[in-house]
Amino acid sequence: MTVSREKSEAPFAEFSCSEYADRFLRAQAAMQKRGIDAMLLTGKENIRYFAGGPLTELTIDYYNAFFLLLPADPSASPVLLMSCGREGAASTSWISDRRFWGYGETGSIMEQSESLVMVSKAISDRDLTSGVIATELEEGFRMGITLKEFRGLQSLLPEVEFVSAADAIWDVRSKKSPAEIDRIRRACQITCEAFEETLDELRPGITEKTLASLIRSKMFEAGATGAGFLSIFAGESRGMWADAMASDYKLQKGDFVMFDGGCCVDGYYADVSRMASVGEPKARNRELYELARSAQASALDSVCAGSSMRDVHVAGQRPIRERGFEDLLVFGSGQLGHGIGLTIHEPPDISATSEEPLEAGMTIAVEPAITDRPGWLNSTYFFIVENNVVVTHNGYEMLTPLSDELWIA
């Protein structure tokens, strides 16, 4: 099958049909390179990425399953499968072969016994019953079906060799198109504006939950299409509660406050970290925060297509090590960053040992961090600045237009 880039637009699709067709072609190349005959995808982010979407928000309902079959054979077309009643939502997809199973004898949405038979039939139709089929078995993925359902599928297809799809998927998803970067850029802009506007609300007595509600409302007013991830924690009693949900804790004078996360735009995340002090901070805390800022600047100076992940990691640690504060590095080796896109943490990983090169079009969150005492559990606070950037041939484009100076309320 020759994928047409001229196909008319699917109604209300998040991206153009040519964008999805290009993703499919790149997935086929990735599969062919690895000896994979097809990918069978069930995870919501992969369905959204390759089929179009979001199709429906019912991906959050564990009783609803969705399947996408992507053959590697250029003459074979993809197949999208879901339960009946989703025909309207499925029309958003650029994929023309859409199949819908009915409910079981009870008519309950919780009984979808026909799904596996229909999926195995689609695989048979593409002459793949003795092929190598990759699915979401590892490396940052969760299948959108239960283990029982997966085993049922294996029993229906005894000659299929199921393997991991991780390498092939990340080969395609790790480099973002201009249209994807636009979504991440917008999510970052909205997040930064909401963080900055909420600064005026910081005062003793306000709760973390109130701050989180204010930020989320500002995000949606500005055009966010999803809540994303948001963590706010403050004070010495919660200063090391990384990624914690906002609580009923009331801010007190002298507290450091962490703002971490961001909104979604069409499924694409922002992940931004900034810190504030309620009143003038202690001299030691300011010193460590400024060191975290220096580490951020040093890490960004090394970001460029062709640099390795290790290069960025080393650069981000350099200011901390030069001050003799190696024992304050987070988890000993130092948190440095990760990819960002349809999930808040995804490849590439900015690790101390990775020689993987940065490539133009990668979107990454850079976040060197230090603690105020040796050892995570022994510390009162950790200090961090996190920015999102897109890698370019000459360096990077900053996606988070917000000063990283310490906010003082």
Residue ranges of the domains in the chain? 17-173, 178-408
Identity of residue 362? M
User: pLDDT (tens digit, 9 = 90+) per residue, 277-310?
Assistant: 999 999 999 999 999 999 999 999 999 999 999 9
Of 305, 330, 114, 166, nearest to 240 by C-alpha is: 330
pLDDT, position 209: 98
Residue 376 confidence (pLDDT): 84
Domain 178-408 fold is Creatine Amidinohydrolase (3.90.230)
pLDDT at residue 9 in the model: 67
The CATH number, out of the four listed (3.40.350.10, 3.40.1350.10, 3.10.20.600, 3.40.630.10), of the domain defined by the range 17-173:
3.40.350.10
Confirm if 246 and 209 have CB atoms less than 8 A apart.
yes
Q: Is 290 helix (H, G, I), strand (E, B) or coil?
A: helix
Pick the closest to residue 76 from 6, 24, 10 (CA basis): 24
For residues 45 and 142, give the distance between their C-alpha atoms in angstroms, rounded to a whole number: 10
Question: What predicted TM-score, i.e. pTM, was given to this entire model?
Answer: 0.94
Residues in the chain: 409
Dmax over Cα atoms in the chain, in whole Å? 70
| Residues 147-199 pLDDT 10s | 999 999 999 999 999 999 999 999 999 999 999 999 999 999 999 999 999 99
**Can you tell me the distance from the alpha carbon of 7 to that of 4, in angstroms, rounded to the nearest whole number?**
6
CA distances from 174 to 144, 162, 166, 202, 204 (A): 21, 23, 11, 37, 42
pLDDT at site 2: 40
| Model pLDDT, residue 112 | 60
pLDDT for the residue numbered 330: 83
Q: What is the distance between the alpha carbons of residues 45 and 32, in angstroms, rounded to a whole number?
A: 22
Q: How many CB atoms lie within 10 A of CB 41?
A: 27
Q: Which amino acid is at 47?
A: I
- Which string of b and e fits 140-158 if b means at least 16 CB within 10 Å? bbebbbeeebbebbeebbe
CA nearest to 136, candidates 346, 337, 349, 344: 346
Q: Under a CB-based contact definition with an 8 Å cutoff, are residues 261 and 231 in contact?
A: yes
What CA–CA distance (Å, rounded) separates 211 from 279? 17
Backbone angles phi and psi of 396, in degrees to 5: -160, 160
Indicate the helix (H) or strand (E) that contains 301: helix 283-301
Please give the pLDDT value at position 62. Answer: 80
- Token pair belonging to 126: 């593409």
Helix axes 17-34, 44-51, angle to 10 degrees: 110
Low-confidence stretches of the chain (pLDDT < 70) are 1-9, 107-113, 331-335
Strand spans (E) along 223-371: 226-234, 256-265, 268-269, 272-277, 337-339, 346-349, 363-366, 369-371
CA distance 304 to 358: 7
Q: Do 17-173 and 178-408 agree at the fold level?
A: no
41 SS3 class: strand
The rounded mean pLDDT for the chain is: 93
From the list 220, 227, 266, the residue with the least C-alpha distance to 14 is: 266
Residue located via tokens 């199709």: 55
SS3 308: strand
pLDDT at 1: 44
